[in-house]
């Protein structure tokens, strides 16, 4: 394939991938809502399952216990407790939302959701851990390791 052909195909491919990821996140949030209410209303009992555990492990569902628990916690925290419109969460990875559950309150909700949307994975994890910003850090507290120095304030490798 020539460079010209690659250039012609790259942007439509990117748009399609972005749409797929957006749809996947929409689907994941809808699944979380269904799991939350299904568990709350005990639909599994009406359907003949002995337990919620047995229900989510049905071969037709193929959910793990951790996936189910994560989805329901995210739905309960962001949709029910904090009243975040679902559309505001579609652009955020569920793993990031999971990291925010113990940290986010109404007073810092907008700030954390913004960070979850725009920061790189490494910078987001540093924010979660409460480390400083490597762009503004003076790197005054360095730790020497055998292969590198690490700033203890922001976590950047020097």
- For residue 11, pLDDT over 90 is answered with no
Please check whether residue 25 is in contact with residue 92, taking contact to mean a CB–CB distance below 8 angstroms: yes
Is residue 90 over pLDDT 80?
A: yes
- C-alpha distance from residue 97 to each of 19, 23, 74, 101, 104 (Å): 20, 17, 7, 7, 9
Where is 119: in which H helix or E strand? none
Identify which of 111, 117, 119, 148 has the alpha carbon closest to the alpha carbon of residue 135: 119
DSSP 76: I
Predicted local distance difference test score (pLDDT) of residue 17: 82
Whether the per-residue pLDDT at 141 is higher than 70: the answer is no
The residues facing 149 across adjacent strands are 144
User: Minimal CA–CA distance to 52: which of 60, 30, 41?
Assistant: 41
- Helices 65-74, 3-40: axis angle to 10 degrees equals 80
Strands (E), 10-74: none
| CA gap 124, 98 in Å, rounded | 13
**What pLDDT score does 10 carry?**
86
Q: Tens digit of pLDDT for each residue in 22-72?
A: 777 778 899 999 999 999 999 999 999 999 999 999 999 888 999 999 999
Query: Is residue 78 scored above 90 in pLDDT?
Result: yes
């Amino acid at each position: 394939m020539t460079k010209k052909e690659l250039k012609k195909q790259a942007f439509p491919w990117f748009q399609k991938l972005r749409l797929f990821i957006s749809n996947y996140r929409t689907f994941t949030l809808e699944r979380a809502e269904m799991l939350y209410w299904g568990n709350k209303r005990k639909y599994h009992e009406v359907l003949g399952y002995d337990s919620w555990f047995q229900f989510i492990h049905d071969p037709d569902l193929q959910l793990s216990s951790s996936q189910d628990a994560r989805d329901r916690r995210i739905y309960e925290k962001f949709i029910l407790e904090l009243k975040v419109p679902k559309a505001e969460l579609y652009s955020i990875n569920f793993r990031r939302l999971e990291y925010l559950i113990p940290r986010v309150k109404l007073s810092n909700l907008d700030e954390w959701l913004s960070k979850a949307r725009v920061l790189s994975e490494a910078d987001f994890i540093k924010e979660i851990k409460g480390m400083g910003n490597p762009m503004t850090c003076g790197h005054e507290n360095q730790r020497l390791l055998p292969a590198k120095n690490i700033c203890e304030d922001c976590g950047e490798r020097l």
